[in-house]
Structure 1
Amino acid sequence: MTDRATAWGPASLSNLGPGFDALGLCLTGLGDRVSASRTDAPGVTVTGPPSLPTDPDRNTAARAAAHVLTQSGLEGGLALEIKKGIPLGSGVGGSAASAVAGAWAANVVLGSPFTKPDLVDAVLEGEVAASGSKHGDNVLPALFGGLVLTSPSDPTEYRHVDLEDAPEIAVLIPHVEVLTRQARAVLPETVPHRDASAQAAELAFLLDALRAGDWLEVGRRIMRDRLAEPHRSTLVPVYDAVKAAALEVGAAGCALTGSGPAMFALPSPDADAETVLEAMKAASLDGAIDAHGWVARVDPGGVRTLDA
């Protein structure tokens, strides 16, 4: 065991268009840091920015770490210190990043009794604090890295999907807060059969393109969602303008990620991700909404220890 460990929980994209609640992709460049220390007193305590709840049941990192502590069977407790690098309600997996970093830091400080697959239940439990239920499309890619396909009905069922020559990705976060619960509330409870069947086909085509490394086709397919994005895009006032700007300068595709407001764009082979990002920023500013972003790569490793 060690006295203290700090873990990095990376950002992630989810849905990727028609993969609603089923697909997630781990990203470089942005993430949360969670440090864990052993305590004599039982339970989990939290310190962090004022925007985060300190109640362990309502904090994603603490809830995940508490699950690890319970499963370890060790006595004593844990003190967590959270440093947020991902804005709350941004759409790039901020709650998931804290959950996986909390679980991993707890695991390391307890002597690493668990592997990453062993921590799936813990990180899913952490997500309950953010959305009220277990969703794997952000926490599982943040845990394992790369692209993960997961079942919305049972997120403990998942598959890691190998990617070929993934391009850089332009990621923009307009300064509009969209909370997960709010974004779920705008979705219809039922959808027409034709939309459900079309969505299944689009996801199949998207997965095939991802496996084949056909990123031009991936770009086309991420814009074919019928279930979530048509409704959630209304929560982002600059959605249409940002998407149009990205496509105009050479993006192969542009879509919301997760609940939004974040949007991501895949450059076509003859386009530059930085140019696409700058066009997306400018479009948001033209719509009177400030925004920031970065050019990301696929993070193949997921959560990791920064020090121990």
Structure 2
Amino acid sequence: MPDSSPVTVFGPCTLSNLGPGYDALGLCITGPGDRVTARRTDAPGVTAEGPPSLPTDAERNTAARAAAHVLRQAGAEGGLRLRIEKGIPMGSGVGGSAASAVAGAVAANEVLGRPFRKPDLVEAVLEGERAAGGYHGDNVLPALLGGLVLVSPSDPTAYRRLTLPAPPPLAVVLPDVEVLTRDARAVLPATVAHGDASAQAAELAFLVRALLEGDWPAVGRHLMRDRLAEPFRAPLVPVYDAVRQAALDAGAAGVALSGSGPALVALVPDADAEAVVEAMAAASRAGGVEATGWVARVDPQGARVVDSELA
């Protein structure tokens, strides 16, 4: 058995969808994140401890489920003990369950002696997301790999990491409203009109092309042209309209919900990003909903070890 000294891994926050990229686009950003500390144990299996709001069993805890998959993948003897520190509120729209899953998988890999590269952990982090009720890659893959990731909604093991040229800052605001993913999926229609589907496909194609070219005004326009998710989810965030308009009035090039919300993200290539954050948060508070926010940058690294006693 390798050394049982603990390893702590940081799982970063992420933005998903980015307008028309429903279940297909995710971006790793700077800001809050989750920390998972792992230690080897003689007893088999994975045990977890963390905030009282989190389940601790290896079936329902995203970090534990991902770590257990790594153990099986490696054929390792013994088990793991995890300690989870939540920096991302659940139901916030910036990848709270994904951050823990990714940190759990990477921490397990580290204490096992790093038998796998990050791309080899894709199945593990996707398995971790199953504990949160889904099998989607738009949060866990950018949290694992860093940067912008395009992923297949029908087969999230099929993905491409995309390189962005000199991305501008982002204004991220979290209104103090919990939007659970299962509730946000429940409000979506079971079928969509053919015209909406074809328009959405075109908008996503134009958005990806603009991202790769660094055409930030075009990115801003396409961020706001989702037809399949955001129009139905926006009512779950009572201050959505006010925060969105405040961002545009402050100079943002475009605004969209992140994931299920309530997080909203504004692209800020030509304005004071701090001022945009303040305007968005003030609009939320004026609507009776407290809010926090920060200026984010693209995080190209993804999950990483932040503390280790291993040699």
Same-fold call, TM cutoff 0.5: yes
The two structures, once aligned, show a CA RMSD in angstroms of: 0.7
Separation in 2, partners of 1:29, 1:189: 34
Separation in 2, partners of 1:277, 1:307: 31
Aligned to 2:196: 195
Separation in 1, partners of 2:49, 2:80: 11
Q: How does 1:136-215 map to 2 (within 5 A)?
A: 136-215=137-216
Separation in 2, partners of 1:231, 1:127: 24
| Contact kept in structure 1, 2:169 and 2:269, CA below 8 Å | no
After superposition, the C-alpha distances for 1:68-96 in whole angstroms (9 at most, x for unaligned) are 01111111000000000000100000100
Q: How does 1:101-140 map to 2 (within 5 A)?
A: 101-130=103-132, 132-140=133-141
* TM-score normalised to structure 1 length: 0.98
Aligned to 2:223: 222
Separation in 2, partners of 1:240, 1:299: 28
Separation in 2, partners of 1:29, 1:15: 18
Question: Tell me, what secondary structure is at the counterpart of 2:245?
Answer: helix
Question: Tell me, what secondary structure is at the counterpart of 1:299?
Answer: coil
| Contact kept in structure 1, 2:20 and 2:226, CA below 8 Å | yes
Separation in 1, partners of 2:268, 2:145: 25
Aligned to 2:307: 307
Aligned to 2:244: 243
Tell me the CA shift for residue 133 of structure 1.
2.6
Separation in 1, partners of 2:151, 2:134: 15
Which amino acid is the alignment partner of residue 27 of structure 1?
A: I
Separation in 2, partners of 1:301, 1:267: 22
- Provide structure 1 residue ranges, at least 5 long, that are not aligned to the other structure: none
Separation in 2, partners of 1:128, 1:164: 33
Separation in 1, partners of 2:83, 2:252: 39
The answer to whether structure 1 residue 293 and structure 2 residue 286 are counterparts is no
Separation in 2, partners of 1:8, 1:281: 26
Separation in 1, partners of 2:229, 2:119: 29
Separation in 2, partners of 1:119, 1:98: 14
Question: Tell me, what secondary structure is at the counterpart of 1:164?
Answer: coil
Which amino acid is the alignment partner of residue 291 of structure 1?
A: A
Separation in 2, partners of 1:293, 1:249: 15
Separation in 1, partners of 2:84, 2:134: 22
Separation in 1, partners of 2:304, 2:272: 29
After superposition, the C-alpha distances for 1:96-132 in whole angstroms (9 at most, x for unaligned) are 00000000000000100010010000000000111x2
Separation in 2, partners of 1:74, 1:198: 49
Question: Tell me, what secondary structure is at the counterpart of 2:40?
Answer: strand
After superposition, the C-alpha distances for 1:225-268 in whole angstroms (9 at most, x for unaligned) are 00000001010000000000000010000110001000000114
Separation in 2, partners of 1:103, 1:229: 31
Aligned to 2:258: 257
After superposition, the C-alpha distances for 1:256-288 in whole angstroms (9 at most, x for unaligned) are 00010000001142x111110000000000000
Extract structure 1 runs of 4+ deviating beyond 3 A.
none
Separation in 2, partners of 1:268, 1:100: 30
- Provide structure 2 residue ranges, at least 5 long, that are not aligned to the other structure: none
Separation in 1, partners of 2:58, 2:75: 18
Question: Tell me, what secondary structure is at the counterpart of 1:218?
Answer: helix
Q: How does 1:44-83 map to 2 (within 5 A)?
A: 44-83=46-85
Question: Tell me, what secondary structure is at the counterpart of 2:253?
Answer: strand
After superposition, the C-alpha distances for 1:25-84 in whole angstroms (9 at most, x for unaligned) are 000121100000001111000110111111210000000000001111111000000000
Separation in 2, partners of 1:274, 1:154: 38
Separation in 2, partners of 1:212, 1:81: 41
The number of aligned residues is 306
Aligned to 2:277: 277
Separation in 2, partners of 1:94, 1:278: 23
Which amino acid is the alignment partner of residue 206 of structure 1?
A: L
Tell me the CA shift for residue 216 of structure 1.
1.3
Separation in 2, partners of 1:8, 1:76: 24
Aligned match for 2:28, one of 23, 26, 35: 26
| Contact kept in structure 1, 2:151 and 2:159, CA below 8 Å | yes
Equivalent pairs: percent with the same residue? 72
